[in-house]
Amino acid sequence: MGNEMTEAFGAKIDRDVIPLPSTASQGTPKRGIKLYSRLFAFIVAVTLLSRGYLFSSAGEKVVSVQKEYCAQPEPLVPTKNAATYNELDDTFGASEFKDRAIDWLSGAIRVPTETFDDLDEVGADPRWDVFGPFHEYLLKAFPVIHSTLKLTKINTYGLLYEWPGSDESLKPFILLAHQDVVPVAPQTVDEWTHPPFSGFYDGERIWGRGASDDKSGLIGTLAAVELLLEQGFEPSRSVFMAFGFDEECGGRRGAGNIGKLLLDTYGEDYFAMLVDEGGGYTEQFGAVFATPGVAEKGSITIRMEIDSPGGHSSVPPPHTSIGMLASLIVALEEQPYTASLSRDDLLYTDYQCFAEHGKDLDASLKALVKSSVTDDDALKELEDHVFASNKFHKASSGTTTAVDIIGGGVKSNALPEQAFVIVNHRISTKSNASETMSGDAERALPIAEKFNLTLEAFGKAVSDPAAPAYGKLVLGSADQAFLDPAPVTPFSSDSNPYRLLSGTIKAAHAAHADEDIIVAPGMPSGNTDTRFYWDLTPHIFRYNHRNSGSATDTGGGLAAGVHTVNENIEADDFVEIIRFFTTLILNVDEAEDI
C-alpha cells in the first residue's frame, strides 16, 4: 500500500519516513474482510496524511511526510513604509525618471574603470588612478547621499557608505557591488556597435563596458538610496553599501580590505543579510524563474611545470618537456572530475521548482522529477537527461577543469628546458580545494612515472627526489592560493531572510509584469566579492533583478556582452533594478524577524 499511496500523493511523500499501519492478520482472512481491512487502513492513512503525519504501530508520531517543493511566498509590499513605496512606485513609471536613470548609468559607463590581473599594489601602479575620476562622478551624480551618509574610503578606492538607523537593536543590512570592469581588448574596439565607453542610449539599450557587470548594480543601489533620501525616508535599520574596486581580478585589495575592516570593527554575524551581484530571472518551461544565488563554487588556479635537459634540436629526445606536458594535459582532460546530481544539490532543487511550476515542462520529465524524490534509478535517469541537455548544468554540479595558458621554449633550434601550463578548476560545492589538489596529483603521477620524472605536488615530494630521474614535474606550490566553496545560505521556507528576498522579488516583478515569477535558489557560475564577507552574515544572496535570458547578436539579457564585445542593458531593465533595490530596502527596514 506504501507504493500506491506514494503514487496517489505524487512526489510529496517521503517513503523513507512512512511506517504505514499494518493490515496483516493471523491466518488467511476471508476476501471481504481483507478488502474491508485495506479500505479501512487506506481511509485512516489518508486522514492522517491530511494532517501532515502518521503514527507507527507503537503509536509514536513520526516525521511529517507532507513536503512543500518550491513553496512560494506572497509578494511582499511595504506596509509601514507604504506611503514612500507608493510615491516611488509612481515615479518609476514616469518617462522623466527613466531619462534620469539612463543619465546616471551612462555617465558611470563613460568613466573607464578597467582592472588587470598584473596590477601592482595601490599607490605603486598608476593604473589604479582611474578610480579618482569615477569617485568624482559619483559625488556629482548623487549629491544627497554624499551630503547625508557617512563615507569611508578604504585602501584609497574602496567605498563604504553608512546610513544609520534609528533602532540600534536591529541588525544592519548591507548591499554590495563593484566599481571595476573587465578590460576592453584594443583589437575588439571596432567590433562594438557603439564605442565601449560611450554609455550610448539607442532608445532601448544603454551600451558600454559595465552596463551589466556591474555598474548597473552599483548605480542601481545608489539610485535607490538617493531616491529614498529625497523622499525624506529615515531608516529604522542601518543600511551599509560596500563597493570594492578590483572584483574582476580577485577582490583582495578592495572588498578584501572592506570586509576585514567590518569584521574587525563589528565582529562576526553583524549583518542581518547581504545582497551582491549574481543570478537574475529568465523564462523557462513556460514560466519566469528568478534564481538568487545562495552558494558559490570554489576555485583554484594551478601552474604545472615540467623541467628536463636542454640541448640542440638536431638531436632531440623521444619527448621534449613540451611533449611530456602535452601528455599531462591530455590526462587532465580525459579524466574529468565526476559530476553527479544528488538530492541535496541546488540544481536538483531547481528541477523540483520546474516540475511544480513549469507550465510547458514535458509531462514525462515532470514525472521523472517527481519519481526521483525516492527512486534512485529515476534520479540517475534525471541526471543523464539534465547533463545531456544543458552543459551549464553539468558544469555547475561538478568540479571543472580548464586548461587556460601554456608556455615553454625560447628558440626553434633549442630544446625547451621548461614548459608550463595554467589550469583553472571551479570546485564543486560537494568538494573542496584539498580534494582537487589530491586529484590532480593522482592524475599527474602516472605521467611522471612514464617519463621518469620526479613529482612534487604543492610543496610535497610525491616521488623520491633523490632517485635518478630525467627531469621533474611540479604542481603548484606549498603556499598555493585557493578558494573553497562558499557556505550555503539557508533557503528553506523557514529562513526569514530568504523568504523576505523572495517576496521582494515577486513584488518588484509584479509591479511591471502580468505573469507571476517563481523564486528558486541558484548559484552563479563565477565568484563574487561575497567571499570576503562569509563571517559577517550567514544570509548572503547574489542577485541582479533583471532578465538574464540568452544573448543575441544585439543583446538580450544579462549574458549580452558581459566580459566581451557589445555589453549592454535595456533601459527598462535598469529601471527595474532601481525599483527592486528600493523595495528591498523598505521591506528589510520594517522586517521584525531577520
435 is catalytic: no
Nearest 10 degrees: Cα torsion 165, 167, 170, 171: 30
Contact between 273 and 440 (Cβ < 8 Å): no
| Cβ proximity of 204 and 571 under 8 Å | yes
Q: 213 a known binding residue?
A: yes
Put residue 524 in one of left, alpha, beta given phi > 0 → left and psi -120 to 50 → alpha: beta
Taking the alpha carbons at both ends of the chain, their separation in whole angstroms is 43
Q: Is 136 exposed, middle or buried (0-12, 13-18, 19+ CB in 10 A)?
A: exposed
- List of residues 6+ apart from 355 with CB closer than 8 A: 11, 69, 361, 365, 366, 369, 370
Active-site position among 247, 345, 440, 456? 247
Q: Is 567 annotated as a binding residue?
A: no
**What number of other Cβ atoms are within 10 A of residue 186's Cβ?**
7
The candidate with the shortest Cα–Cα distance to 272, out of 10, 533, 545, is 533
Is-contact 182 248, C-beta < 8 A? yes
333 known ligand binder: no
Rounded Cα–Cα distance for residues 206 and 201 (Å): 4
Q: Is 178 annotated as a binding residue?
A: yes
Are 347 and 279 spatial neighbours (Cβ–Cβ below 8 Å)?
no
Vertex 267 angle, CA 262 and 271, to 5°: 70
Whether the bond between 214 and the residue before it is cis, its omega within 30 degrees of 0, is yes
The two beta strands, 239-244 and 471-475, are unpaired
CB 308 within 8 A of CB 536: no
Q: Tell me the CA distances in angstroms from 264 to 74, 106, 268, 276, one per residue in order.
A: 38, 36, 9, 21
Distances (CA, A) of 58 to 3, 43, 55, 269: 22, 19, 8, 44
- Overall size of the chain counted in residues: 594
> Exactly one of 180, 214, 277, 573 is catalytic; which is it?
180
Q: Is 307 annotated as a binding residue?
A: no
Q: Please tell me the distance from the alpha carbon of residue 31 to that of residue 41, in angstroms, as a whole number.
A: 15
CA distances (Å), origin 172, targets 237, 262, 280:
6, 12, 24
Is position 180 annotated as part of the catalytic site?
yes
Binding residues: 178, 213, 248, 276, 563
Positions annotated as catalytic residues are 180, 247
Binding residues for Zn(2+): 178, 213, 248, 276, 563
